[in-house]
Protein backbone atom coordinates (compact mmCIF):
# COMPACT_ATOMS: atom_id res chain seq x y z
CA UNK A 1 0.00 0.00 0.00
CA UNK A 2 1.35 3.43 -0.87
CA UNK A 3 2.10 5.40 2.31
CA UNK A 4 2.41 9.13 2.91
CA UNK A 5 5.58 9.69 0.82
CA UNK A 6 4.20 7.73 -2.14
CA UNK A 7 0.77 9.41 -2.08
CA UNK A 8 2.42 12.83 -1.72
CA UNK A 9 4.63 12.07 -4.74
CA UNK A 10 1.57 11.19 -6.83
CA UNK A 11 -0.21 14.33 -5.65
CA UNK A 12 2.65 16.60 -6.64
CA UNK A 13 3.11 14.93 -10.04
CA UNK A 14 -0.58 15.03 -10.96
CA UNK A 15 -0.87 18.65 -9.89
CA UNK A 16 1.76 19.63 -12.42
CA UNK A 17 -0.37 18.24 -15.25
CA UNK A 18 -3.96 18.67 -14.17
CA UNK A 19 -4.41 22.09 -12.56
CA UNK A 20 -6.62 24.36 -14.69
CA UNK A 21 -7.90 21.52 -16.88
CA UNK A 22 -11.63 21.13 -17.53
CA UNK A 23 -13.70 17.93 -17.30
CA UNK A 24 -15.17 16.97 -20.68
CA UNK A 25 -16.37 13.41 -20.19
CA UNK A 26 -16.76 10.85 -17.40
CA UNK A 27 -16.98 7.08 -17.42
CA UNK A 28 -18.03 5.19 -14.30
CA UNK A 29 -17.09 1.53 -14.79
CA UNK A 30 -17.50 0.02 -11.32
CA UNK A 31 -20.18 0.85 -8.81
CA UNK A 32 -18.30 -0.72 -5.88
CA UNK A 33 -15.19 1.41 -6.22
CA UNK A 34 -16.87 4.49 -7.65
CA UNK A 35 -19.67 5.67 -5.41
CA UNK A 36 -22.63 7.28 -7.21
CA UNK A 37 -24.19 6.89 -10.65
CA UNK A 38 -22.73 8.12 -13.92
CA UNK A 39 -25.45 10.77 -13.99
CA UNK A 40 -24.47 12.08 -10.56
CA UNK A 41 -20.83 12.24 -11.59
CA UNK A 42 -21.63 14.01 -14.85
CA UNK A 43 -23.89 16.52 -13.18
CA UNK A 44 -21.28 17.36 -10.58
CA UNK A 45 -18.20 17.49 -12.77
CA UNK A 46 -18.84 18.29 -16.44
CA UNK A 47 -17.24 21.62 -17.39
CA UNK A 48 -15.68 21.99 -13.95
CA UNK A 49 -12.04 23.01 -13.69
CA UNK A 50 -9.52 21.35 -11.38
CA UNK A 51 -8.14 23.88 -8.91
CA UNK A 52 -6.04 21.88 -6.47
CA UNK A 53 -5.13 18.43 -5.26
CA UNK A 54 -4.89 18.06 -1.49
CA UNK A 55 -3.89 15.19 0.75
CA UNK A 56 -4.70 14.12 4.30
CA UNK A 57 -2.83 11.01 5.39
CA UNK A 58 -3.12 8.64 2.44
CA UNK A 59 -6.38 10.17 1.17
CA UNK A 60 -6.38 12.48 -1.86
CA UNK A 61 -8.91 15.22 -2.62
CA UNK A 62 -9.32 16.76 -6.08
CA UNK A 63 -10.86 20.23 -5.74
CA UNK A 64 -12.91 21.56 -8.64
CA UNK A 65 -14.63 24.87 -9.29
CA UNK A 66 -18.17 25.07 -7.91
CA UNK A 67 -17.38 23.38 -4.55
CA UNK A 68 -17.02 19.89 -6.06
CA UNK A 69 -14.51 17.45 -4.59
CA UNK A 70 -13.45 13.95 -5.56
CA UNK A 71 -11.97 11.91 -2.72
CA UNK A 72 -9.76 9.01 -3.81
CA UNK A 73 -8.17 6.38 -1.59
CA UNK A 74 -5.87 3.93 -3.37
CA UNK A 75 -5.84 1.44 -0.47
CA UNK A 76 -3.96 -1.78 -1.36
CA UNK A 77 -3.95 -1.93 -5.14
CA UNK A 78 -5.18 1.38 -6.55
CA UNK A 79 -3.44 3.41 -9.22
CA UNK A 80 -3.87 6.85 -10.70
CA UNK A 81 -2.69 7.29 -14.25
CA UNK A 82 -2.81 10.43 -16.30
CA UNK A 83 -2.47 9.95 -20.04
CA UNK A 84 -1.71 12.90 -22.25
CA UNK A 85 -1.10 11.76 -25.82
CA UNK A 86 1.75 9.25 -25.51
CA UNK A 87 2.85 10.57 -22.12
CA UNK A 88 1.89 8.65 -18.97
CA UNK A 89 2.03 9.83 -15.38
CA UNK A 90 1.34 6.77 -13.24
CA UNK A 91 1.31 6.29 -9.49
CA UNK A 92 0.22 3.68 -6.97
CA UNK A 93 0.43 -0.07 -6.99
CA UNK A 94 1.95 -1.63 -10.15
CA UNK A 95 0.17 -4.80 -11.24
CA UNK A 96 3.39 -6.24 -12.59
CA UNK A 97 7.04 -5.31 -12.59
CA UNK A 98 7.80 -6.50 -16.09
CA UNK A 99 7.03 -3.35 -18.03
CA UNK A 100 5.25 -0.04 -17.78
CA UNK A 101 2.42 -1.42 -19.92
CA UNK A 102 1.89 -4.41 -17.65
CA UNK A 103 2.30 -2.32 -14.52
CA UNK A 104 -0.92 -0.50 -15.40
CA UNK A 105 -2.75 -3.66 -16.49
CA UNK A 106 -2.31 -3.24 -20.25
CA UNK A 107 -3.32 -0.50 -22.66
CA UNK A 108 -5.83 1.99 -21.30
CA UNK A 109 -8.63 1.75 -20.51
CA UNK A 110 -8.48 -1.86 -19.34
CA UNK A 111 -10.52 -4.18 -17.13
CA UNK A 112 -9.06 -2.57 -13.99
CA UNK A 113 -10.16 0.95 -14.97
CA UNK A 114 -12.94 1.88 -12.52
CA UNK A 115 -13.27 5.58 -13.24
CA UNK A 116 -12.12 7.58 -16.24
CA UNK A 117 -12.20 11.35 -16.28
CA UNK A 118 -11.48 13.01 -19.60
CA UNK A 119 -10.03 16.49 -19.33
CA UNK A 120 -9.28 18.87 -22.14
CA UNK A 121 -5.86 17.56 -23.09
CA UNK A 122 -5.75 14.18 -21.33
CA UNK A 123 -7.45 11.40 -19.40
CA UNK A 124 -7.20 10.41 -15.76
CA UNK A 125 -7.71 6.72 -14.97
CA UNK A 126 -8.41 5.31 -11.54
CA UNK A 127 -7.45 1.65 -11.81
CA UNK A 128 -7.81 -0.85 -8.99
CA UNK A 129 -7.13 -4.56 -9.24
CA UNK A 130 -8.55 -5.81 -5.92
CA UNK A 131 -11.15 -3.05 -5.58
CA UNK A 132 -10.43 -2.02 -1.98
CA UNK A 133 -10.00 1.61 -3.02
CA UNK A 134 -12.73 4.16 -3.61
CA UNK A 135 -13.63 7.37 -5.40
CA UNK A 136 -16.48 9.51 -4.19
CA UNK A 137 -17.92 12.95 -4.72
CA UNK A 138 -18.32 15.45 -1.96
CA UNK A 139 -18.16 19.17 -1.19
CA UNK A 140 -16.08 21.39 1.05
CA UNK A 141 -18.04 20.31 4.11
CA UNK A 142 -17.64 16.62 3.27
CA UNK A 143 -13.90 17.02 2.80
CA UNK A 144 -13.59 18.80 6.14
CA UNK A 145 -15.49 15.97 7.78
CA UNK A 146 -13.37 13.30 6.09
CA UNK A 147 -10.21 15.01 7.32
CA UNK A 148 -11.43 14.94 10.91
CA UNK A 149 -11.14 11.16 10.99
CA UNK A 150 -7.38 11.39 10.76
CA UNK A 151 -5.01 12.05 13.60
CA UNK A 152 -1.87 14.19 13.65
CA UNK A 153 -0.54 15.00 10.20
CA UNK A 154 3.26 14.78 10.10
CA UNK A 155 5.11 17.39 8.00
CA UNK A 156 2.62 20.13 8.83
CA UNK A 157 3.06 22.89 11.37
CA UNK A 158 0.30 21.26 13.40
CA UNK A 159 2.55 18.29 14.10
CA UNK A 160 3.67 19.22 17.59
CA UNK A 161 5.77 17.28 20.08
CA UNK A 162 3.30 17.95 22.88
CA UNK A 163 0.39 16.41 20.91
CA UNK A 164 2.56 13.52 19.75
CA UNK A 165 3.49 12.69 23.34
CA UNK A 166 -0.17 12.81 24.36
CA UNK A 167 -0.88 9.87 22.02
CA UNK A 168 0.96 7.53 24.37
CA UNK A 169 -0.84 8.30 27.59
CA UNK A 170 -2.52 5.18 29.00
CA UNK A 171 -2.14 3.39 25.67
CA UNK A 172 -1.26 -0.25 26.31
CA UNK A 173 -1.09 -1.28 22.65
CA UNK A 174 2.35 -1.96 21.15
CA UNK A 175 4.02 1.19 19.83
CA UNK A 176 3.87 -0.28 16.33
CA UNK A 177 0.04 -0.48 16.47
CA UNK A 178 -0.23 3.09 17.74
CA UNK A 179 1.88 4.44 14.87
CA UNK A 180 -0.19 2.51 12.31
CA UNK A 181 -3.48 3.84 13.70
CA UNK A 182 -4.57 6.50 11.18
CA UNK A 183 -6.92 8.14 13.65
CA UNK A 184 -3.95 8.89 15.93
CA UNK A 185 -1.26 9.73 13.39
CA UNK A 186 -1.93 9.83 9.65
CA UNK A 187 0.03 8.53 6.68
CA UNK A 188 2.38 5.99 8.24
CA UNK A 189 2.22 2.35 7.13
CA UNK A 190 4.34 -0.73 7.64
CA UNK A 191 7.51 0.51 5.94
CA UNK A 192 7.89 3.88 7.58
CA UNK A 193 6.82 2.64 11.02
CA UNK A 194 9.46 -0.11 10.97
CA UNK A 195 12.13 2.32 9.76
CA UNK A 196 11.24 4.99 12.31
CA UNK A 197 11.33 2.53 15.21
CA UNK A 198 14.73 1.27 14.09
CA UNK A 199 16.21 4.77 13.96
CA UNK A 200 14.71 5.47 17.37
CA UNK A 201 16.12 2.28 18.91
CA UNK A 202 12.65 1.22 20.09
CA UNK A 203 11.38 -2.37 20.11
CA UNK A 204 8.10 -2.40 18.12
CA UNK A 205 6.45 -4.63 20.75
CA UNK A 206 6.90 -2.14 23.60
CA UNK A 207 3.68 -0.93 25.17
CA UNK A 208 3.19 2.65 24.06
CA UNK A 209 2.59 4.10 27.53
CA UNK A 210 5.89 2.68 28.77
CA UNK A 211 8.03 4.74 26.40
CA UNK A 212 10.34 7.18 28.14
CA UNK A 213 10.12 10.89 27.46
CA UNK A 214 13.47 10.87 25.70
CA UNK A 215 12.37 8.05 23.43
CA UNK A 216 9.23 9.94 22.40
CA UNK A 217 11.36 13.02 21.61
CA UNK A 218 13.62 10.96 19.41
CA UNK A 219 10.76 9.12 17.67
CA UNK A 220 9.03 12.42 16.89
CA UNK A 221 12.14 13.78 15.19
CA UNK A 222 12.88 10.53 13.38
CA UNK A 223 9.39 10.25 11.85
CA UNK A 224 9.70 13.70 10.28
CA UNK A 225 13.19 12.98 9.01
CA UNK A 226 12.33 9.57 7.52
CA UNK A 227 9.21 10.89 5.73
CA UNK A 228 11.04 13.92 4.33
CA UNK A 229 13.88 11.78 3.04
CA UNK A 230 11.46 9.32 1.44
CA UNK A 231 9.59 12.12 -0.35
CA UNK A 232 12.85 13.58 -1.62
CA UNK A 233 13.57 10.15 -3.15
CA UNK A 234 10.03 9.86 -4.57
CA UNK A 235 9.07 7.06 -2.19
CA UNK A 236 10.07 3.48 -1.71
CA UNK A 237 10.66 0.81 -4.30
CA UNK A 238 9.38 -2.58 -3.42
CA UNK A 239 7.28 -5.21 -5.07
CA UNK A 240 4.12 -3.17 -5.32
CA UNK A 241 4.99 0.46 -5.60
CA UNK A 242 5.63 2.60 -8.64
CA UNK A 243 5.51 6.38 -8.61
CA UNK A 244 3.51 8.73 -10.78
CA UNK A 245 6.18 9.12 -13.42
CA UNK A 246 5.92 5.36 -13.91
CA UNK A 247 9.33 5.10 -12.29
CA UNK A 248 10.15 3.13 -9.24
CA UNK A 249 10.80 5.23 -6.20
CA UNK A 250 14.37 5.01 -5.05
CA UNK A 251 14.13 5.13 -1.30
CA UNK A 252 14.46 1.35 -1.07
CA UNK A 253 18.25 1.45 -1.05
CA UNK A 254 17.97 3.55 2.13
CA UNK A 255 15.80 1.07 4.03
CA UNK A 256 17.53 -0.19 7.15
CA UNK A 257 15.21 -2.94 8.38
CA UNK A 258 12.08 -3.13 6.18
CA UNK A 259 12.34 -6.15 3.87
CA UNK A 260 15.80 -7.03 5.25
CA UNK A 261 14.98 -10.00 7.49
CA UNK A 262 17.95 -12.35 7.82
CA UNK A 263 20.36 -9.66 6.62
CA UNK A 264 22.98 -7.89 8.70
CA UNK A 265 22.01 -4.85 10.73
CA UNK A 266 23.90 -1.80 9.48
CA UNK A 267 24.52 -0.65 13.05
CA UNK A 268 25.54 -3.76 15.01
CA UNK A 269 26.13 -6.49 12.41
CA UNK A 270 23.51 -8.68 14.13
CA UNK A 271 20.64 -10.09 12.08
CA UNK A 272 17.47 -8.21 11.24
CA UNK A 273 14.45 -10.24 12.28
CA UNK A 274 10.86 -10.41 11.06
CA UNK A 275 8.10 -11.02 13.59
CA UNK A 276 4.38 -10.31 13.82
CA UNK A 277 3.23 -7.29 15.79
CA UNK A 278 -0.33 -5.99 15.70
CA UNK A 279 -1.03 -8.57 12.98
CA UNK A 280 1.59 -7.08 10.65
CA UNK A 281 4.94 -8.38 9.47
CA UNK A 282 7.44 -6.34 11.46
CA UNK A 283 11.14 -5.91 10.78
CA UNK A 284 13.55 -4.95 13.57
CA UNK A 285 16.97 -5.50 15.06
CA UNK A 286 16.65 -7.12 18.50
CA UNK A 287 20.09 -5.84 19.53
CA UNK A 288 19.60 -2.19 18.52
CA UNK A 289 15.94 -1.88 19.45
CA UNK A 290 15.09 -2.21 23.13
ZN1 LIG B 1 21.41 -3.82 15.11
In this predicted model, what pLDDT tens digit does every residue of 46-63 receive, in sequence order?
999 999 999 999 999 999
Q: Assess whether 263 carries a catalytic annotation.
A: no
The highest-level CATH class for domain 161-284 is mainly alpha
Band (142; pLDDT cuts 50, 70, 90): very high
Domain ranges in the chain are: 4-148, 161-284
pLDDT at 235 over 90: no
Band (85; pLDDT cuts 50, 70, 90): confident
Q: Whose CA is closest to 289, among 175, 135, 151, 180?
A: 175
Tell me how crowded residue 47 is: count the other CB atoms within 10 A of its CB. 11
Mean pLDDT, the chain, integer:
92
Q: Active-site residue among 22, 27, 207, 280?
A: 280
Q: Assess whether 162 carries a catalytic annotation.
A: no
Q: Assess whether 15 carries a catalytic annotation.
A: no
CA dist., res. 234 & res. 169, Å (int): 34
Q: Each residue of 175-188: b (16+ CB within 10 Å) or e?
A: bbbbbbbbebbbbb
Cβ–Cβ under 8 Å, residues 82 and 173? no
Helix (H) or strand (E) holding 262: none
Reported pTM: 0.93
pLDDT at 239 over 60: no
pLDDT at 284 over 80: yes
The Å distance, Cα 237 to ligand 1 centre, comes to: 23
Q: Assess whether 280 carries a catalytic annotation.
A: yes
CATH 3.20.190.10: does it fit domain 4-148?
Answer: yes
Per-residue pLDDT, averaged over 173-195, amounts to 97
Q: What is the 3-state composition of the chain as percent helix, strand, coil, each rounded to the nearest 5?
A: 30, 25, 45
The Å distance, Cα 6 to ligand 1 centre, comes to: 27
Q: Active-site residue among 21, 55, 56, 58?
A: 58
The Å distance, Cα 256 to ligand 1 centre, comes to: 10
The Å distance, Cα 288 to ligand 1 centre, comes to: 4
Q: How much of the chain exceeds pLDDT 90, in percent?
A: 80
Amino acid sequence: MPELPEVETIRRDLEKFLIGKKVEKIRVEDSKVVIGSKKTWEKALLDKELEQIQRRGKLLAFLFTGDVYILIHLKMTGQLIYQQKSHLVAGGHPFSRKSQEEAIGGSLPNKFSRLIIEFNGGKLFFNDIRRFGYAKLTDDKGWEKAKEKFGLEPLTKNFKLKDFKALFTNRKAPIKAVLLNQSLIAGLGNIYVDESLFFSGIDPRRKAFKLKDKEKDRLFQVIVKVLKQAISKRGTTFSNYRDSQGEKGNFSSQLKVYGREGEKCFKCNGLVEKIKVAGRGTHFCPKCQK
